[in-house]
Amino acid sequence: MSQIFQYFVNGLVFSSIIVLGSVGLSIVYSIADFANFAHGDTMTVGAYGALVTLPTLSGIGGELLGLPLGFYGALLVGMALAAAIAVVTELTIYRPLDTDAIGMLITSIGVAFVYRAALQATFGSDFRSYSIERSGPIPGIENALNVTITERATVMIVCAIVLVTALHLLLQYTTLGRKMRAMSDNPELARVSGIRTDRVLLATWVVGAALAGAGGVFLGLYSQIDPRIGFDLLLIVFAAVILGGIGSVYGAMAGGLSIGMVHEFTPLLTDVGIPIGTDYASAVAFIIMVVILLVRPSGIAGGEAT
Amino acid sequence: MRRLATDTWLEKTSQGGLYSRASAQPAWSQLLAVPAARVARLGMANSNTGSLSTFGQRNKRGKQIALDDINETGVLGGDLEIIEEDTQSESGPGVSAAQKLVNQDGVPLLIGAVSSGVSLAIYKSVIQGSDVTQISQNSTSPDLTNFPDLLRMSPTGAAQASALAGIVNEDGHGKVAVTHLTNAYGVGVAEAFDEAYGGESKLFPHDQGKSSYSNVITSMADYDADAWLFVTYQPEFTTMAQESYDSGNSGEVALYGSDSVKGPNVLEQTPEGSLEGMKLVAPSAALDQDNYKQFAQAFRDNHDTEPTAWSAYAYDAVVTAAIAIEAAGSTDPAEIKAEARGVTGPGGTEVFTFAEAVEALGDDGSASDVNYQGVSGPIDLDKNGDPKAFEQIFQIQDGEYVSQGFIAGE
């Protein structure tokens, strides 16, 4: 039983990274209207942004949830950098480019290569990690529940919840959020009704890329950082978005959580005697995605747009 | 479209094919007022990025030192040049890299690749059935033994697996959890271990390049073994070691690892002391030989760090290729192929450097006249294209790899 609870906790931790990635991808998809293949590498940009600033910020004293305050500063820098790079890309590449969704998709693959190559040229392809010492499992929780979870993992889960809640509030209760939703429903109608769609689009990039940046920082905090981490996760993030219902932010949250959980629950199959090893975790996640799509062709939150 | 170059001299323009640089750009060779230096070109498919990039970077250094040494003497009176392409440590891009080198650049000999899976993919889709010689610089999967024409400088992992099984038995562990990559290298070594090891064991396969392996670690912890063996790559192993530490397994089980999880970066990126006592088996270079010492000195001078056995294999791959060209007396792929295996011995004059080999070969020497003793060891490629194995045992003590002795293979 405690084993199942452990899988669940592992799933929560992994899901918090995927959700941050999938929500950002989904919001960009619904408003900019194309599948952004550079999203994974935007995550990597965020991870490196934090890596570079962490040494200077680590002088800040104090701790929050077991991690130095400097880390949260570095997290914000990572998010800001990812957002800035995304905005620059939008202004210099995507906006001037007069092409359809497929053209944009292919362009974004090119952009992804450029991001990755730039990171690799600057930092090399060796893997690195944030200079925050690992603490091991939190003893209190391990003793009480027989489940191991680290302080950094709890930080990741808490931050993911905070960010996703903030996004929810932004979308539902602010003028910008209403404009974004209007644009996602019908961009032409939004424009004729006086919404400056260009600005909303930029805001969308900022929000989507900042969330991706946060996901990237957590990915680096979780294990380590190299120029491919974001790209390696991209397929799973796409699966989460599609599972949730393309373009739906709330669906992307649900999709991210499901995919992360399925990924970490795969050992259960062997436990109950089904000979499917953990090396098939991604395959199992994708099969479940296909099954859900067969039952609900438009995804978990199908039909309900942002 | 498949064109296998019979000659890669740049200045021979008369019958250049579709891809020949010289014929495509005749004006260039005239514009460049360089005296007609003849350049022999080889190809190298290397892991410049991806999971094995740390190996790729050391290969690059080994290759460069080899080129410097070789070009002091010169190959067939000209310079040796190596065109390098990135495999990204994966089969798809690896095959594209090899196709570009063989079909477009027309190299007669290809050094590649690091990963066994990539080496095999390249062999099967580009090299097999052609006259081009392939020498893998770093692949160790036992599976490569089944492809005699795919030569390699690094010893088979079967030797490593049996050494590991011996140590685990000696340490008295009765139950082992083995986690391995699902590629040719991982499966090959893990299965060879399983066969050589007497006690109870279970395999936990995992895929390359995943962001999380906590599902693997959790199920290994659940298996309740005395010892864990890791047959994977450095980034994957680092993630696992971190997750194992995070879930409180450190110090609970004895740790063992294959060569590919050993690296200074692993020690740096894992929590201090979490890998203490771990034992690893890694192929070793010929540390006592003079030519190795010179190679190591050049490596230190250029890069301020000690070379690995892997960079020594890359060095030997380049030197072996150069000696094969010299023995063939041309850059014709078929003629090089006929010589490549033989120049590593056994039999013939023992030579330790490229310059010595050129001298021993004289004007019309052939493979049987030389026995190249590489910086990595005797090499002596057998009929399966495998070199003699020479393995070193390491243990992590106080955060450093400390040698525990050597094991010589067949």
pLDDT tens, residue by residue, B239-280: 999 999 988 887 789 999 998 899 888 998 888 889 999 999
- List, for residues B338-389, the tens digit of each pLDDT value: 999 999 978 889 999 999 999 999 888 888 899 999 999 889 999 999 998 8
Which of A124, A224, A227 comes nearest B238 by C-beta?
A: A224
Choose the most confident range, by mean pLDDT, from A266-280, B317-331, B358-372.
Answer: B317-331
**Nearest C-alpha in B relative to A134:** B271
DSSP per residue, A35-68: --TTHHHHHHHHHHHHHHHHHHHTTS--EETTEE
As beta bridge partners, residue B152 has: B136
Residues in A closer than 8 angstroms to B207, CB to CB, are: 279, 281-282
Mean pLDDT over residues B318-332, rounded?
94
A3–chain B nearest CA distance, Å: 8
d(CA A59, CA A104): 42
In A174-266, where does DSSP find H-type helix?
Answer: 175-185, 187-192, 197-222, 229-244, 249-265
Nearest Cα residue to A39 out of A288, A292, A234, A261: A234
d(CA A138, CA A119): 34
Residues in B closer than 8 angstroms to A271, CB to CB, are: 219, 222
Residues in B closer than 8 angstroms to A125, CB to CB, are: 48-50, 53, 57
The residue behind tokens 């030579």 is B351
User: Is the minimum CB–CB distance between B139 and chain A shorter than 8 Å?
Assistant: no
Residue predicted with more confidence, A98 or B188:
B188
pLDDT at residue A304 in the model: 52
Cβ-defined contact of A150 to B246 (cutoff 8 Å): yes
Chain B interface, best mutation among A12, A22, A223, A236, by max B CB count within 10 A: A223
| Residue B61 predicted with pLDDT over 90 | yes
d(CA B350, CA B357): 8
Nearest Cα residue to A219 out of A156, A277, A273, A281: A156
Backbone φ and ψ for B381, nearest 5 degrees, come out as: -55, 130
Cβ-defined contact of B214 to A219 (cutoff 8 Å): no
| Residue B20 predicted with pLDDT over 50 | no
**Both structure tokens of A247:** 């373009």
pLDDT at residue B8 in the model: 42
Whole-number mean pLDDT of chain A?
A: 90
- List, for residues B192-233, the tens digit of each pLDDT value: 999 999 889 999 999 988 888 988 998 898 888 999 999 999
d(CA A173, CA A13): 28
pLDDT at residue B37 in the model: 53
Which of B212, B235, B248 comes nearest A14 by C-beta?
A: B212
User: Is the minimum CB–CB distance between B269 and chain A shorter than 8 Å?
Assistant: yes
Backbone φ and ψ for B110, nearest 5 degrees, come out as: -120, 125
d(CA A228, CA B208): 12
| Residue A30 predicted with pLDDT over 70 | yes
d(CA B52, CA B208): 11
Express the helix, strand and coil content of chain B in percent, nearest 5 each: 45, 20, 35
Residues in B closer than 8 angstroms to A120, CB to CB, are: 49
Q: How far is CA B410 from the centre of its chain?
A: 19
* pLDDT over 70 percentage in chain A: 98
User: Is the minimum CB–CB distance between B60 and chain A shorter than 8 Å?
Assistant: no
- List, for residues B144-175, the tens digit of each pLDDT value: 999 999 999 999 988 899 899 999 999 999 89
B192–chain A nearest CA distance, Å: 19
| Residue A267 predicted with pLDDT over 60 | yes
Which of B209, B211, B246 comes nearest A136 by C-beta?
A: B246
Which of A134, A228, A281 comes nearest B215 by C-beta?
A: A281
| Residue B60 predicted with pLDDT over 90 | yes
Which has the minimum average pLDDT: A111-125, A291-305, B234-248?
A291-305
Cβ-defined contact of A10 to B212 (cutoff 8 Å): yes
| Residue B94 predicted with pLDDT over 90 | yes
pTM of the model: 0.77
- List, for residues A164-221, the tens digit of each pLDDT value: 999 999 999 999 999 999 998 888 999 999 999 999 999 999 999 999 999 999 999 9
Residues in A closer than 8 angstroms to B222, CB to CB, are: 3, 267, 271
Is the separation of the CB atoms in A205 and A82 below 8 Å? no
pLDDT at residue A206 in the model: 97
Rounded to the nearest 10 degrees, the angle between the axes of helix A229-244 and helix A39-57 is 130
State the CB neighbour count (10 A cutoff) for residue A186. 12
Sign for the CA dihedral angle at A115, A134, B55, B381 comes to: negative
Nearest Cα residue to B280 out of B305, B296, B261, B300: B261
| Residue B67 predicted with pLDDT over 90 | yes
pLDDT at residue A79 in the model: 97
d(CA B229, CA B247): 18
Chain B interface, best mutation among A120, A146, A279, by max B CB count within 10 A: A279
Cβ-defined contact of A134 to B235 (cutoff 8 Å): no
Residues in A closer than 8 angstroms to B224, CB to CB, are: none
Residues in B closer than 8 angstroms to A264, CB to CB, are: 212, 214-215, 218
pLDDT at residue B288 in the model: 84
In terms of C-beta density within 10 A (0-12 exposed, 13-18 middle, 19 or more buried), how is residue A272 classed?
A: exposed
Choose the most confident range, by mean pLDDT, from A272-276, B35-39, B350-354, B387-391.
Answer: B350-354
Nearest Cα residue to B278 out of B263, B299, B300: B263
Cβ-defined contact of B53 to A233 (cutoff 8 Å): no
d(CA A288, CA A258): 9
User: Is the minimum CB–CB distance between B154 and chain A shorter than 8 Å?
Assistant: no
Is the separation of the CB atoms in B132 and B99 below 8 Å? no
Express the helix, strand and coil content of chain A in percent, nearest 5 each: 75, 5, 25
| Residue B7 predicted with pLDDT over 80 | no
- Amino acid letter at A213? G
pLDDT at residue A146 in the model: 82
Residues in B closer than 8 angstroms to A273, CB to CB, are: none
How would you label A190-211 residue by residue, b for 16+ Cβ within 10 Å and e otherwise?
A: beeeebebeebbbbbbbbbbbb
User: Is the minimum CB–CB distance between B46 and chain A shorter than 8 Å?
Assistant: no
pLDDT at residue B14 in the model: 39
How would you label A273-294 residue by residue, b for 16+ Cβ within 10 Å and e otherwise?
A: eeeebbbbbbebbbebbeebbe
State the CB neighbour count (10 A cutoff) for residue A295. 7
d(CA B303, CA B3): 38
Give contacts of B 210-249 with A, CB under 8 A: 210-216, 218-219, 222, 234-235, 238-239, 242-243, 245-248
Q: How far is CA B335 from the centre of its chain?
A: 24
How many pairs of residues across A and B have Cβ atoms under 8 Å apart? 117
